Structure 1
Amino acid sequence: MSGAAMVSALLAGAPALADSSRPPAPLAYTQLADPAKEARAKALMDTLRCLVCQGQSIADSDAEMAGDMRALVRERVEAGEQPEAIRAWLVQRYGDYVTYDPPFSWVTAPLWIAPLALLALGIVLARRTFGRERD
């Protein structure tokens, strides 16, 4: 088998190896018995990003890691932790990427500034383009 064929075969099989064969975490797909606690857990899960998916929350993702994170959130809510404390712990563990609302810092500044800069650039280009047509 040539080197290119071997690499192609390995890459084709990679998605099958993405999740392990272990069973899901106990609370990954099971709701809490207390509806109020489940509502708090669900509200928090909707605001946390799946680290291995493309823009999905852990509430919406079927990825194994998202299931583990859902179970962790439910376990901590069941134990009485407040959602803000759970979020802070997850941000400390996984970084600001885990939340859809990263705080402003030098690292996240491009995320906050880029849309404003692109909007300003669009306005300038539109004024120049439409300003010439009026002349």
Structure 2
Amino acid sequence: MTMTLAEWRTAIRPIADDIAAELLDAAECGPFDGGCLAFARALQDVIGGDLVVLTRANGLADHAAVHQGDRFWDYAGPRARLLFIRRFASAEMLGNWRGVDIRPHREGDLLDAPDDPELVERLAALLRGALAGHFPVQTLSLRS
């Protein structure tokens, strides 16, 4: 099932404060300043897909997201690949998107990002409730 950016914004709005509170309480960060990995893992638990990272020109991972279908997802919502890269570059790199790429997440990426399984599960529970009408609800965590 697909979801538009407008549908995402409508669905996420009622839980935005709760997501922020969970990330701030557990890790003193938000979904774009350190909490991207926990948020992406939670989102992956709910919508499926593959965990990916956006990399800078030097190849270092800078942001976690989910690749599901033909869209890339983070807290800002689903976007096609180029639009996703441009949104990231606009927000994080002063609009310079040259050299930014997307690749699968791998061991050693984003080591400073919180990745606590309990935090991920709390975020996933919030997302399951908000997205229940858009995606089949996962009853078990997809994390191993």
Smaller-chain TM-score bracket: under 0.3
TM-score, length-scaled by structure 2: 0.24
Q: Greater helix percent: which structure?
A: 1
Structure showing greater relative contact order (alpha-carbon pairs closer than 8 Å, 6 or more residues apart): 2
Greater Rg, structure 1 or structure 2?
A: 1
TM-score, length-scaled by structure 1: 0.25
Q: Greater strand percent: which structure?
A: 2
